[in-house]
Amino acid sequence: MSDPCAVRQFSGHRARLALDAALARKIDAQAHAARALWNLLHVWWQMTPREQRVAAHADAVIRQARKEIDWLGALPAQAAQGVLKTYLRAWQNCWDGRAGAPTFKSRGKSTMSVDIPQGGNLQVVRVHRRWGTVSIPKIGHVKFRWTRHLPVGRNANGGNRITGARLVKDALGWHITFRIQTLEPMPTPHAGPEVGIDLGITVPLFLSDGTAFRHDPWLSAKEQAKLLRLERTAARRKARRTPGRPRSRRLDITYGQIAGLRAKAKRRALDWQHKTTTATAERYSTVVVEQLNITNMVKSAKGPLKAPGRHVRQKSGLNRAISGEAWGRTMELLAYKTARRGGSLVKVPAAGTSRRCSTCGRTTAGSRESQAVFVCKNPDCGWSGNADHNASRNVLHLYRIGLVVIPAAGRAVARRARRVKPATAR
C-alpha cells in the first residue's frame, strides 16, 4: 500500500551513450526521419482545412507515409506518435500564448533527437558500477554511463519507474535522457535559516551571510586559445566560400570542433550550478533572489541607424557575460530543489538593492565607489564592505519586511505581503 503522505515526483537524468560508428549511423537515420516527419506534418497542417486538423487524421497520414516512404520506416512507430504529440502540443502552446507558431526544422540548425515514449520497452539493466545497458527500439542493447541510481529491477514499481526516454545529440555525441517518476514522502518544513542572494558576474552568487560562490573559467587557457584559433579559421574559410554553394567539409569540421568546445564549457557550467544550488537548498529554508528581467538586460545597445547607441562593444561583452552565467537557469534549479527539501524560493524587487545601504537603509549618491566596493556616504553610518554582500543583505531585508514579487495575470507585481517575521538587525 502506498503512503498517503507521499508525493509523486518527476525528474530527468541524462547519460552518455557508448556507440560505435554503425550504431551512431542508425540513430542518426532515426533522428533525420523524425525531423522529416515533423516537416511533413507541418506541410499537411498548412494544406488541410481547419476542421480536418485533428489527431486521428494526422495519425492516419503518418501511418500511410511510413508505408509508402522507405526511409521513414527507420523511425519506430511509437517515436512517430511522439512526433505527432509534440507537434500538436506545440500548437497548443502557441494558442495559449506560451510560444510562437511551429515552423520547419532545418537539417543544420535543429537538434537531432528521437523520443521513446514507452519506458517498459527500455529494459534498463545495470551491468556493473560504471555502465548499464538500455534497449533502444530498432537499434538493440546499447551501453550508457551509469552515474545515478535509477528505479530498475527490484527498485521499480508502480510509484518508482522510468516512464520514457529521449535520445539527444549534441556536439559531444549521443545521450539518453530518462524520464523518471518516483514516489517520495512529503517534505517536512526546512529548519534552516533564511538567506538573500545577489546574482553577479565577477562573483556569480554572493549570499547575505558572507558566503561567496565563485568558479574558474569554464575553459582552460589552452582550450580558450584553441577556440579563438578555430573561430578565426572558420571566419577565413567562410569568407572564401562562394555565395550560393554548400559549405566545404573543412568548414563543417571546424564548426564541429567549435561546437564541441562550447558544449564542454556548457556541461561544466551546468555541473557547477547543480552542485552550488544543491548545497544552498540543503542549508537554507528560504532563498530570496531578485526579480530580474534578463531578456531586457541582455538587449543590444546598437540602436537604430538614426539614433545609434554608445559603448556597443562593451555592452556586447556584458551581455555575453550575463548569458554565460545563466541566471535564469540558476533560479529554476533553486526553485525545485528548495521545494523538494521543504524550503521555498522567493523573489523581491531588484530596484535599488545595489545602491542602498544595508545598514542604515538610505540611498546616498556616490556610495557605490566601484563595482566591488560599497562605502555609505551617509555621515551617520559610514558602513563599508563588498558591494555584492551589501546587495544580498538588502535582498533579504526586502523579504523580511514583506515586499515580495507575486506573479499575477502573466506579470510580476510587487506587493507588501503580511509580515510573518519582524525585520531584525543584520
Which residue among the candidates 290, 325, 332, 369 is catalytic per the annotation?
Answer: 290
Q: What residues are paired with 162 via a beta bridge? A: 180
198 is an active site residue: yes
> Which residues, given as ranges, of the chain have pLDDT below 70?
1-4, 301, 303-307, 369, 406-426
Instruction: Please check whether residue 14 is in contact with residue 177, taking contact to mean a CB–CB distance below 8 angstroms.
Output: yes
DSSP-derived pairing of the beta strands 205-207 and 194-199: antiparallel
Exposed (0-12), middle (13-18) or buried (19+): which is 9, by Cβ within 10 Å?
middle
DSSP H helical ranges for 16-156: 21-47, 55-68, 77-95
Q: What residues are paired with 180 via a beta bridge? A: 11, 162
The pLDDT assigned to 407 comes to: 61
Contacts of 171 (CB under 8 A, 6+ apart): 256, 259, 260, 262, 263
Contacts of 397 (CB under 8 A, 6+ apart): 196, 358, 361, 423, 426
Contacts of 414 (CB under 8 A, 6+ apart): 291, 348, 349, 403, 404, 405, 406
Q: Mapping DSSP to helix (H, G, I), strand (E, B) and coil, where does residue 386 land?
A: strand
d(CA 304, CA 165): 46
Instruction: Please check whether residue 295 is in contact with residue 327, taking contact to mean a CB–CB distance below 8 angstroms.
Output: no
DSSP H helical ranges for 287-345: 294-297, 312-325, 327-340
Nearest partner of 234 among 264, 248, 255, 210, judged by Cα: 255
- Residue ranges of domains in the chain: 6-14+115-185, 23-111, 188-215+284-426
Which residue among the candidates 115, 194, 198, 325 is catalytic per the annotation?
Answer: 198
Q: How would DSSP label each residue in 102-127?
A: --PPPTTTSPPEEEE--GGGS--EE-
Q: Kindly list the distances between the CA atom of residue 74 and the CA atoms of 98, 154, 164, 176, 402, in Å, as whole numbers in the listed order.
A: 33, 33, 19, 18, 58
Exposure string of 115-125, with b = 16+ CB inside 10 Å and e = fewer, is bbbbbeebebe
301, amino acid identity? A
The C-alpha cell at 139 is 537499434
The pLDDT assigned to 135 comes to: 94
d(CA 353, CA 348): 10
The pLDDT assigned to 257 comes to: 94
d(CA 125, CA 2): 25
The C-alpha cell at 152 is 530498475
Which residue among the candidates 115, 194, 325, 388 is catalytic per the annotation?
Answer: 388
d(CA 140, CA 293): 46
Instruction: Please check whether residue 99 is in contact with residue 141, taking contact to mean a CB–CB distance below 8 angstroms.
Output: no
Exposed (0-12), middle (13-18) or buried (19+): which is 384, by Cβ within 10 Å?
middle
Contacts of 37 (CB under 8 A, 6+ apart): 62, 65, 72, 75, 80, 83
Q: Mapping DSSP to helix (H, G, I), strand (E, B) and coil, where does residue 137 land?
A: coil
Q: How would DSSP label each residue in 9-29?
A: EEEEEEEEEE--HHHHHHHHH
d(CA 390, CA 375): 10
Tracing cell 527498485 back to the chain, one arrives at 155
Tracing cell 556541461 back to the chain, one arrives at 267
